[in-house]
């Protein structure tokens, strides 16, 4: 058959474009907040910033309904707590798929564009031990079977998000990468499943955490700084920490016989508070370096011109109820503050350098709870500690935005945090008569005394009298002293 000239031209254009890769950048949307921004408002924020992909940690119906008809690609999550029941029962898996997916795949314009089901949330995390590992493979298989039964297997892929601690290199060189020996059997089964169904490997990479755990890594290397000292490995040159971790995974996959499996960076970001080197300016440097690197399509030394097929920024918003077991910075991963205000400026796909803030956010009244300086403050420190056992005081830890506040300003911060979390109820600013409600904003410098969002989904801590919290004093020390030594804490408060 003889092709016409214009047909040949079209063929050549298509052929040349087939070698180009479009790397999508999305965001993680977590909801571990005492006063979450309403889902409809978050969706407005996503659309205003032209963010086309979202990864969720559950299948919250209010969130999914808000995403209906937007065209935004969605990854829904299944929590680790469900893995055991999903692995033991095909009926449970079928019910989960029916309740959380099927209704969103109607033919109407209101359907949700669900791309992936993330089975578990870092279930192979080393600190979990064998808690979830025995249930992963059967849970994955049962969910896949349920998708087939619901005629959704062609629309949705099943994946398992893995923390980067699932693999390592004893020498620190990517060429020596391998999966943890305790994971090998399970990992081979998982990779075989993913390969069979053409699903990617989801990996969560945290350069901030890797940098803090390894004194041999420079901040410049973690931040994509051009002047960072390079790492040489088998004639390959590494200029940033992300490429090192990514290629350590590539080698690990190759060791088990899956050298070409697609990789999705499921979580990657840099916190802005709660620890040393966690500031908005440092996060901006990291994020700009990451986005530039991804958009350059240069790939990594082991996968040149083949960067992750998708990358999900961690995360969209700050979450004041996230666990701080790993550090107080865990509550400050957001590109936006808890109320949807940009902390810095990057291009997440909106085509400009300026992010668009959430609009028309409804707040509680402009009032705060502070220390009443007209009272005897002998017991004020114990009251502040009690407040922090419930409220978010992560900004007071060493190196954080409110760390250098003088007494009693730091006490007022703890009082206000508790007061706002309890919806500004008058009794939540009592503190044995030591609290005082004011309409004068006590914020100073970089330390922001928040006024919480007005929301019907507000967190509802116990309404017991405040003195009943004394029994948790021992517990609060174990939590609060994760990032602040007892000596520093005494000086702090």
Q: What is the pLDDT of residues 348-393, one digit of tens each?
A: 766 667 899 999 999 999 999 999 998 888 889 999 999 999 999 9
Count of domains in the chain?
2
pLDDT for res 17:
38
**Residue 479 located in a structural domain:** no
Q: By C-alpha distance, which of 76, 264, 84, 87 is closest to 152?
A: 76
Of 320, 336, 352, the residue that ends a domain is 336
Do 243 and 313 share a domain, yes or no? yes
The CATH code of the domain that includes 227 is 3.20.20.80
**Residue 485 located in a structural domain:** no
- In Å, what is the CA distance from 284 to each residue of 82, 204, 277, 401? 36, 19, 12, 16
Which residues of the chain carry a pLDDT beneath 70?
Answer: 1-23, 106-110, 349-352, 456-493
Active site residue 122: yes
pLDDT for res 74:
98
Do 255 and 387 share a domain, yes or no? no
Catalytic option among 122, 284, 319, 386: 122
Do 376 and 231 share a domain, yes or no? no
Do 318 and 393 share a domain, yes or no? no
Strands 53-56 and 73-78: parallel
**Residue 238 located in a structural domain:** yes
Of 315, 336, 357, the residue that ends a domain is 336
pLDDT for res 19:
38
Return the number of other C-beta atoms located less than 10 Å from residue 149's C-beta: 14
Burial of 220 (0-12, 13-18, 19+ CB in 10 A): middle
- Quickly tell me which residue has 């509550």 as its tokens: 331
pLDDT for res 105:
86
**Residue 464 located in a structural domain:** no
The full DSSP string for 176-194 is G-EE-GGGHHHHHHHHHHH
Do 294 and 145 share a domain, yes or no? yes
Do 329 and 372 share a domain, yes or no? no
Q: Which two tokens stand for residue 36?
A: 């979450």
Do 321 and 372 share a domain, yes or no? no
Sign of CA dihedral 401, 404, 406, 411: positive
pTM above 0.95, yes or no: no
- In Å, what is the CA distance from 338 to each residue of 79, 272, 450? 22, 12, 10
pLDDT for res 477:
37
- The maximal CA–CA distance of the chain, rounded, in angstroms, is 96
pLDDT for res 488:
43
pLDDT for res 241:
98
pLDDT for res 472:
36
Q: By C-alpha distance, which of 120, 167, 122, 113 is closest to 140?
A: 120
Contact between 369 and 429 (Cβ < 8 Å) = yes
Do 42 and 118 share a domain, yes or no? yes
Do 390 and 302 share a domain, yes or no? no
pLDDT for res 107:
56
- Phi/psi at 483 (nearest 5 deg)? -115, -10
Do 66 and 149 share a domain, yes or no? yes
Do 323 and 416 share a domain, yes or no? no
3-class DSSP assignment, residue 446 = coil
Do 179 and 242 share a domain, yes or no? yes
- Quickly tell me which residue has 């004093």 as its tokens: 473
**Residue 361 located in a structural domain:** no
Burial of 225 (0-12, 13-18, 19+ CB in 10 A): middle
Q: Write out pLDDT tens, residues 269-310.
A: 999 999 999 999 999 999 999 999 999 989 999 999 999 999
Of 314, 336, 358, the residue that ends a domain is 336
**Residue 91 located in a structural domain:** yes
pLDDT for res 407:
86
Structural domain range at position 266:
20-336
């Amino acid at each position: 058959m003889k092709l016409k000239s214009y047909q040949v031209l079209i063929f050549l254009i298509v052929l040349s474009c087939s070698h180009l890769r479009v790397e999508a950048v999305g965001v993680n949307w977590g909801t571990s907040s005492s006063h979450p921004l309403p889902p409809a408002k978050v969706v407005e924020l996503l659309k205003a910033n032209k963010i086309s992909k979202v990864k969720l940690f559950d299948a919250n119906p209010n969130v999914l309904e808000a995403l209906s008809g937007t065209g935004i690609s969605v990854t829904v999550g299944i929590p680790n707590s469900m893995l055991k029941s999903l692995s033991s029962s095909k009926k449970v898996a079928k019910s989960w798929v029916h309740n959380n997916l099927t209704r969103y795949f109607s033919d109407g314009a209101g359907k949700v564009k669900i791309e992936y089901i993330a089975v578990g949330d870092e279930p192979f995390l080393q600190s979990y031990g064998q808690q979830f590992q025995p249930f992963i493979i059967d849970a994955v298989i049962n969910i896949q079977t349920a998708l087939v039964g619901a005629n959704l297997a062609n629309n949705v892929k099943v994946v398992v998000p893995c923390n980067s601690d699932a693999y390592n290199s004893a020498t620190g060189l990517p060429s020596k990468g391998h999966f943890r020996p305790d994971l090998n059997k399970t990992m081979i089964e998982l990779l075989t499943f993913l390969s069979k169904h053409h699903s990617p490997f989801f990996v969560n990479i945290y350069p901030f955490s890797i940098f803090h755990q390894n004194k041999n890594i420079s901040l410049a290397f973690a931040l994509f700084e051009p002047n960072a000292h390079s790492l040489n490995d088998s004639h390959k040159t590494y200029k940033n920490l992300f490429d090192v971790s990514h290629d350590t995974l590539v080698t690990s996959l190759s060791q088990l016989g899956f050298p070409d499996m697609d990789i999705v960076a499921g979580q990657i970001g840099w916190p802005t508070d709660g620890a040393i080197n966690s500031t908005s300016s440092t996060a901006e440097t990291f994020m700009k370096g990451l986005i530039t690197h991804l958009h350059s399509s240069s790939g990594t030394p082991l996968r040149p011109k083949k960067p992750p097929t998708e990358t999900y920024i961690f995360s969209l918003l700050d979450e004041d109820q996230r666990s701080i077991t790993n550090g107080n910075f865990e509550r400050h991963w957001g590109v936006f503050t808890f109320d949807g205000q940009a902390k810095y400026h990057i291009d997440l796909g909106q085509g400009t350098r300026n992010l668009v803030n959430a609009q028309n956010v409804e707040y509680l009244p402009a009032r705060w709870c502070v220390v009443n300086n007209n009272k005897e403050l002998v017991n004020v420190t114990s009251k502040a500690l009690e407040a922090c056992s419930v409220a978010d005081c992560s900004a007071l830890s060493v190196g954080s935005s409110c760390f250098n506040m003088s007494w009693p300003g730091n006490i007022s911060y703890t009082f206000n945090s508790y007061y706002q979390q309890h919806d500004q109820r008058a009794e939540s600013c009592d503190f044995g008569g030591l609290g005082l409600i004011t309409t004068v904003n006590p914020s100073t410098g970089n330390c922001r005394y928040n006024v919480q969002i007005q929301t019907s989904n507000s967190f509802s801590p116990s309404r017991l009298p405040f003195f009943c919290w004394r029994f948790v004093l021992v517990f609060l020390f174990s939590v609060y002293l994760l990032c602040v030594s007892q000596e520093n804490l005494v000086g702090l408060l």
